[in-house]
Every structure is written in structure tokens, then in C-alpha cells.
């Protein structure tokens, strides 16, 4: 079971997450999102991790120039695209791929809102290398970072109908990740909000003890 954590903000935080078993580290560039860091810091994290975990660069944009700039500067292992659904259709995603490095896997976010999300996910799965099933937050300009769960039965229907790896996100915590795995049977699970600490100046940082608890719970659940 792959475990993925957003949003990593420093080299020290990245290495601490790797030490407790994180498989994917999510990095957020300056786009008005929680936990964002500079492209320079993103690259420093990728270099420091050195392949011990896969580094994911997220974008809510679809402008090819901005995407190429980020990819060239950061050199991530995976590109995570999470614009709102109407901003990136499977057709647009197919065209974007032609302008990005051919060996760069793309993880496409799907906002799970109802049964109609199954058909949307199936369409994206024909183009993307991974799907991440998340919960939309009205105040966030992209899919994710809501801290809220969605209907896991719909996510399970998506897992059953696509052939690409699926990561489940949206409100997952050390307390509920085992149940989410039991119901959805995803390839991986993702956590942001519920493995965070709030600093005195209002920023977020990873709570490494909860990251460890999340990893342990996910691995135990997936081994049953």
C-alpha cells in the first residue's frame, strides 16, 4: 500500500517522512494553495530525498509554459494535475502530455461528488498514469485540501472500473485510513490535513508522529 503525504515544506520534513515510511511526498509550488513552497525548495527536496521516496509536484494550472517551467526546475518523479474538472478535460490532458517529457507520469485528480464521477474517472484513466480521488473544497482553487471525506463506495466503483493505479485522498487520517482501505481497495492512500500541525504563525507542517501512525495503519490494513 503506497502512502502519500502533502504538503512537504522543508528538506528536514521530507527526510523525517521518509524515515517513518512515506512512499510519496507531495510538493506544492506558489499557486495560492496551503503549504506552498518555492520551486528552488522543491528541487532541494527532490535532490535530498534521492529516490528513497517519489516526489510529486502539484499544479492547479494547465498553461503549458507554467507546467514546463515547474517540471524543468523541480524534476519531479510524478506531475499531479488538480485543476477544477471544467478546466482540464481528458482531451486537454491528452494535448498537454504531448508538450511534457514523455517519461513523466501524470497523476490526475478527480473530485468525487456523485455517481457521475465514475464516468469522469474512467475517461481520465484512458489518458493519465494515476488517478487521485479527492474531495472538493469550495474555498480552494483546485481539487483537494478539503480535509473532508467523500462517498467511498463511489471511489470503490472507480477502482473496480479502471486499470491505472488509484490513490484515495480526502479527509484520510490515522483513525480512518484502515476503514477506507477496506472499502475502496485503492493502490495508495493520501493524507494532508489530518497529518498536519499548525505552527504559531499559522503555517502548516507535518506531524511526524501522525505520519508514522498513518503509514502503520495503512500497511496493517493492506496486509489483511
Could you read off the pLDDT of 145-157 as tens digits, one per residue?
666 788 999 999 9
Mean pLDDT confidence for 47-62 = 95
Q: What is the CATH number of the domain that holds 21?
A: 3.20.20.70
Residues 74-108 have pLDDT tens digits of 999 999 998 876 788 899 999 999 999 989 999 99
Residues 6+ apart with CB under 8 A from 198: 204
Q: How far is CA 10 from CA 27, 39, 68, in A?
A: 10, 12, 23
C-alpha cell at 174: 490515522
Query: How many structural domains does the chain have?
Result: 1
CB 122 within 8 A of CB 157: no
On the question of pLDDT at 218 being above 90, the answer is yes
Range in 93-97, 171-175, 215-219 with the lowest mean pLDDT: 93-97
Of 5, 28, 27, the C-alpha closest to 18 is 5
pLDDT at 140: 65
DSSP 151-212: -HHHHHHHHHH--S-EEE-SS--TTTHHHHHHHH--SEEEESGGGEEE-TTS-EEE-HHHHH
Whether 201 shows a pLDDT value over 70: the answer reads: no
Distance CA 62, CA 96 (A): 8
Domain encompassing residue 122: 2-222
Q: What is the pLDDT of residue 61?
A: 86
pTM (predicted TM-score): 0.93
- Residues 176 and 161 sit within 8 Å (Cβ to Cβ): no
Amino acid at each position: 500500500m503506497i502512502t502519500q503525504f502533502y504538503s512537504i515544506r522543508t528538506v528536514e520534513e521530507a527526510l523525517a517522512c521518509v524515515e517513518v515510511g512515506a512512499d510519496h511526498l507531495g510538493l506544492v509550488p506558489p499557486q495560492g494553495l496551503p503549504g506552498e513552497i518555492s520551486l528552488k525548495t522543491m528541487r532541494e527536496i527532490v535532490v535530498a530525498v534521492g529516490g528513497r521516496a517519489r516526489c510529486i509536484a502539484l499544479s492547479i494550472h494547465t498553461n503549458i509554459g507554467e507546467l514546463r517551467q515547474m517540471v524543468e526546475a523541480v524534476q519531479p518523479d510524478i506531475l499531479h494535475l488538480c485543476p477544477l474538472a471544467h478546466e482540464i478535460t481528458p482531451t486537454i490532458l491528452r494535448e498537454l502530455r504531448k508538450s511534457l517529457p514523455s517519461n513523466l507520469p501524470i497523476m490526475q485528480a478527480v473530485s468525487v461528488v456523485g455517481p457521475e464521477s465514475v464516468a469522469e474517472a474512467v475517461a481520465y484513466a484512458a489518458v493519465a498514469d494515476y488517478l487521485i480521488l479527492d474531495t472538493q473544497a469550495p474555498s480552494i482553487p483546485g481539487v483537494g485540501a478539503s480535509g473532508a471525506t467523500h462517498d467511498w463506495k463511489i471511489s470503490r466503483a472507480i477502482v473496480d472500473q479502471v486499470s491505472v493505479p488509484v490513490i484515495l485522498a480526502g479527509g484520510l487520517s490515522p483513525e480512518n485510513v484502515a476503514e477506507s482501505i477496506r472499502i475502496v481497495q485503492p493502490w495508495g492512500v493520501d493524507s494532508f490535513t489530518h497529518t498536519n500541525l499548525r505552527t504559531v504563525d499559522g503555517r502548516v507542517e507535518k506531524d511526524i508522529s501522525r505520519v508514522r501512525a498513518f503509514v502503520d495503519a495503512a500497511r496493517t490494513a493492506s496486509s489483511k
